[in-house]
Structure 1
Amino acid sequence: MLTITGKGIGQRRRLFEDFSVPPPEEVGDGGPLTLRALITHVVTQEVAAFERRREARKLDRVLSPRQIEEGLERGKVSPEGRDGLPRAFKEKPVDVESAIATALEAFEDGMYLVIIDEIEYRELDAIVKLAEDSRITFLRLTFLAGA
């Protein structure tokens, strides 16, 4: 599995929790893989995972005593049942093609860099080298005032 990490320059905390995606099929058959294809693969996998999480949250859940206690400590006990879904989880499905286009445009606009196993990639059509356990870091760039 590929490990996906998100970082911001000058920030100690990660942008999101690390997650894993299976390698693209191109890696398994030994064919070349471009950064564009890799970003497309990661976005497609994450949109699918988001949709699965959204569907799972629609189900009523029974909370354990420990989960209730943790919720009380946070100030909100919520089983995330049908009536308690946030509005974003009730809306229409994510358009995967639009999400891919947004991710590729953000890369072209210099909003983030991609680092794979400590090698930085700056071109969408660059051939990337992946191992089955590669770490892919999306590094969000911050623009300086007046730049």
Structure 2
Amino acid sequence: MDADAIERVVVLRHPVERVWAALTTAEGLSRWFGSVAEIDLRPGGRAFFRWDDLGQESVATVAVVDPPRRFAFRWAIEGLPEDDAARTLVEFTLEPVPEGTRLRLVESGFAQAAADVGRSARAANSQGWDAELAELEIYLDATG
């Protein structure tokens, strides 16, 4: 397993356009990715996420917007000061498949942090993405 990255692939029973909207709109994101989301959907734009149940917030910078195929943002590495320059890149790639949409998530850049911090952040985010991707599937299935 790559110590620098997390990778998940899921097949969602929904068209690419629906999955894209869930990933890139404040309305979609706030239904599965945290409690509140704001997003300025352009490279260099700001994204904000808050998880009320965890008492956590995160600010990200949009890196790639290539509708409806690729969306990426950079955000802080957990355990480092918020003003630290090190950021991970979270990249979503969507591909239409007969069953719906294949979503590939890769979060990379943990190796920028000291080994113990990077390992801890990667482990926390790995669990987080498992939970969040399950929430994404539940949200999409519940809304049709």
Does TM, normalized by the shorter one, top 0.5? no
Q: Which has the larger radius of gyration?
A: 1
The structure with higher relative contact order (CA 8 Å, sep 6+) is 1
The TM-score with structure 2 as length reference comes to 0.28
The TM-score with structure 1 as length reference comes to 0.28
Greater fraction strand? 2
